[in-house]
Chain A
């Protein structure tokens, strides 16, 4: 490795001394204990780079800790995939890799538009107000009831509800609920019977099976069991706004898939 010093420096920090470790690391078998040791060290020593990149993406509506975690994941991938034989130094490989990971995070799980922190917090407080009020009232609350409960204006509630729609699969929601293991129960069995009335069921059924358990369950409860979003939210243990987003996402996914997979069927009367 004979690159100039500047290529091993990032924000005044020089990482040149780590370069030989990459050569050793690349030559080790993954089962070798030294491999794990070196991997730890390489990741730890380069952490300031991941943290710096995460900071560059802050104020975009994601929690700083989440961003650092994602950037660190990018760094780990970079350490694992870096090939010192290619003649490129680690930094020029790692920085775009980490940035790519963070960007992907925003694309996949973040707000689809930039939503100020203040609105996100309002979104969260409205979300929990909906849950509290639903339990007290035995039904979904209206925006004016939410406004009264939180002591904010109707307009602010509108903004918060609207902001909720700009959020895709949300890490905040994921944090608030633990829904990995949802027993399917008899929901799917009965959906099959209900599906019998549906003409394109042959196309729908395999698509339903492709859905995550939670998405499928929500779909069945809403469209075949006539449960309201609030009731589903309570049963599954996530917020009503989250149910709403998952339904929107699932329906749009199904539409795309049905469109692609099934040519229009012949018209029949």
Chain B
């Protein structure tokens, strides 16, 4: 597992893209899957950065095993509603990943804070 912590700021997103791109290349996913994963991680992190509390960190966890790459991103947010599902952004995320979900949990560290997560996964394409 690889874990990356950055300030929740759009400037930091290239780091997340680079990590997922590298892991996907190392896993020898096909170039479409590699490119989609980069776009998906970008989209997921952008959505979270937008709702992140000030000074929040963006934490990205990457796991590549059994032909599937899993990614979880989380931020602290003052908002308990989490990412909405009927948006264009969610549509993009769904099209780019095999599975995508979000969750909201009360923060243990921050009073009135919420940990908002987006999890997604994408597997190696199966070719007959």
| Chain A interface residues (CB < 8 Å from chain B) | 130, 137, 139-144, 146, 154, 157-158, 161-162, 165, 197-201, 204, 222-224, 226, 228-230, 240-241, 244, 247-248, 251-252, 254-255, 258-259, 265, 267
Chain B residues whose CB sits within 8 angstroms of the CB of A140 once the complex forms: 30-33, 125
Query: Between A and B, how many residue pairs show CB distances below 8 Å?
Result: 93
Residues of A within 8 A of B29 (CB): 142
Closest residue on chain A to residue B31 by CB atoms: A140
A142, A223, A252: which contacts B91 (Cβ < 8 A)?
A: A223
Asked if B32 and A143 make an inter-chain contact with CB atoms under 8 angstroms apart, the answer reads: no
Which residues of B lie under 8 Å from residue A259 when comparing CB positions?
A: 50
**Contacts A140-B31, A226-B95, A229-B35; A161 near B25 (Cβ below 8 A):** yes
Contact B87 A199 (CB under 8 A): yes
Name the residue of chain B whose CB is nearest to the CB of A243: B35
Whether the pair B21, A244 counts as a contact (CB closer than 8 A) is no
Q: B102 within 8 Å of A by Cβ?
A: no
Query: Which residues on the A side are within 8 Å of B127 (C-beta)?
Result: 137, 139
Shortest CB-to-CB span from A3 to chain B, Å, is: 46
**Nearest neighbor of A139 in chain B, beta-carbon distance:** B127
Q: How far is the CA of A42 from the CA of B54 in the complex (A)?
A: 56
The answer to whether B91 and A228 touch across the interface, beta carbons within 8 angstroms, is: no
Asked if B4 is at the interface (CB within 8 A of a chain A CB), the reply is: no
Say whether A161 contacts B95, CB under 8 Å. Answer: no
Given known pairs A198-B86, A255-B89, the reply for A248 and B31 (CB within 8 Å) is: no
Contacts of B18 in A (CB 8 A): 162
Are A200 and B32 within 8 A (Cβ)? no
| Contact call A197/B42, Cβ cutoff below 8 A | no
Q: In the complex, what residues of B have CB within 8 A of residue A229's CB?
A: 31-32, 35-36
How many residues on B have C-beta within 8 angstroms of the other chain's C-beta atoms?
32
Closest 9 CB pairs of A and B: A140-B32, A140-B30, A244-B35, A199-B86, A267-B81, A223-B95, A142-B28, A228-B32, A140-B31
Task: Decide: B42 and A161 in contact? CB cutoff 8 A.
Answer: no
**What residue of chain A has the Cβ atom nearest to residue B47's Cβ?**
A255
Contact at A240–B35, with CB atoms within 8 Å?
yes
Inter-chain contact A201/B42, CB cutoff 8 Å? no
Set of chain A residues within 8 Å of B36, measured between Cβ atoms: 229
Interface readout for B31-44 with A: 1 if CB under 8 Å, 0 if not? 11111101100110
> Could you write out 23 A-B pairs with CB less than 8 Å apart?
A130-B31, A139-B125, A140-B30, A154-B28, A158-B22, A158-B26, A161-B25, A162-B22, A197-B86, A198-B88, A199-B86, A204-B88, A222-B95, A224-B95, A226-B95, A228-B32, A229-B32, A240-B35, A244-B35, A248-B39, A252-B46, A258-B88, A267-B84
